[in-house]
Amino acid sequence: MGERDLYRGCLLGGAIGDALGYPIEFMSRDMIQKKYGKDGITDLVVSKGGKALISDDTQMALFTAEGIVCSEMLRRQGKVSEPSDEVFSAYGRWLFTQGEKRLKPEMKGWLLDHVDLHNKRAPGNTCLQSLLSGIKGTWQSPHNWSKGCGGVMRTAPAGLFYEKGEAFLKGVEFAAITHGHPSGYLPGGALAFMIASIISGSGIREAAEEAIDVIELWDGSLETAAKLRLSIDLADSKSNDADAIAKIGEGWVGEEALAISTYCAIRYGSDFRKALAASVNHDGDSDSTGAITGNLLGARYGVEVIPDDWIDTLELKDVLIRTADDLYDRYIGTPDWKIRYGTGKGSVYL
């Protein structure tokens, strides 16, 4: 298994976790069991078009990756480029796919050409409202006090592109574009750090423990560090999944989503099906916890642990693979990069 497979595994795993949890995102555990049986949902729901549909979580992760690579292409052209500015512009393009018409008509981007991305899949209100303001939030100057999980669920690409120290800071910056509470942006940094650490050879537990040390250097870190530490302890306990996850929370906020996902990833390791099932069958934000769990497991174990039938039915499978490869090729680039990312985008707001 090569490193490229880990990159593909991270994005495909995240999208599959997202797709598994998306149909039950707003359902309680009792409701899930009533509809799908005592084990809850254990297989992807396939649409009439024959695809397992992804939500806004995967959409925004793809646009995060686009912004990152856009910034790198501009840098290679000798232009000054701040990655968070390019990611902010990429989120503007995502906003356009959600039907927002207050944007420049000449806006361009590779992902905009994919019709399947132009679907509303329960986008988070904080993300929509923050981006509609036209102001890039930062952790130093937040424009809200939200700690929803909409910040963390999209930052895995930062961990694939940057070394872990820089990945943490970039994950914080990307999450803070829309989420201004420390528990909204620090989990974004922690996930990016963990992905980078895992890609470089660490286990998931080791990456989580190291992430806690980094988190605790920041103001406002108590909630995120405490929940992540709890997830590690619970993974070693005799608690069943329902009780353990209930102790962590429901995943609607950033620190809980990261902790639930870390718990599931540590407890089940390479058993992708069991880990994903545990991560979504609870009272909470099932698609986000499924997505983050899939990111972690895919980065650790690669494509080979993901069931082929799940990959085959996944919406935007080829786009996810292409994006993962572009992130992997960060040091060498390819001629295709210029076609997809090399024109420079600038602000998308009127």
d(C-alpha 237, C-alpha 336), whole Å: 48
Number of domains comprising the chain:
1
The answer to whether residue 271 sits within a structural domain is yes
Let me know if residue 297 belongs to a domain: yes
In the structure, what pLDDT confidence band is assigned to residue 106 with cuts at 50, 70 and 90? Answer: low
* SS3 category, 80: coil
The overall average pLDDT reported for the chain is 94
Taking alpha carbons only, the member of 274, 297, 321, 289 closest to residue 62 is 321
Rounded CA-CA distance 65/156 in Å is 9
Assess if residue 95 is contained within a domain.
Answer: no
59 within some domain: no
Tens digits of residue pLDDT in 314-332: 999 999 999 999 999 986 6
> Are 165 and 194 within 8 A, CB to CB?
no
DSSP category for residue 306: S
* % of the chain at pLDDT higher than 70: 95
88 occurs within a structural domain? no
DSSP of 241-271, one letter per residue? Answer: HHHHHHHH--SSBHHHHHHHHHHHHHHHTT-
- The reply to whether 243 falls in a domain is yes
> How much is the pTM?
0.96
User: Mind listing the pLDDT tens digit for each residue in 18-27?
Assistant: 999 999 999 9
292/154 Cα distance (integer angstroms): 9
Domain membership of residue 104 (yes or no) is no
* CA-based end-to-end distance of the chain: 46
pLDDT at 192 over 60: yes
pLDDT tens, residue by residue, 49-79: 999 999 999 999 999 999 999 999 888 888 8
Q: Is residue 211 part of a domain?
A: yes
Residue found under tokens 């693979």 = 321
In DSSP terms, 103 is beta-bridged to 349
Angle, helices 3-21/317-328, rounded to nearest 10 degrees: 140
Domain harbouring 271, CATH code? 1.10.4080.10
CB 308 within 8 A of CB 5: no
- In which domain, by residue range, is 15 found? 3-53+140-330
Residue 304, burial from CB neighbour count under 10 angstroms (0-12, 13-18, 19+): exposed
* pLDDT at residue 206 is higher than 80: yes
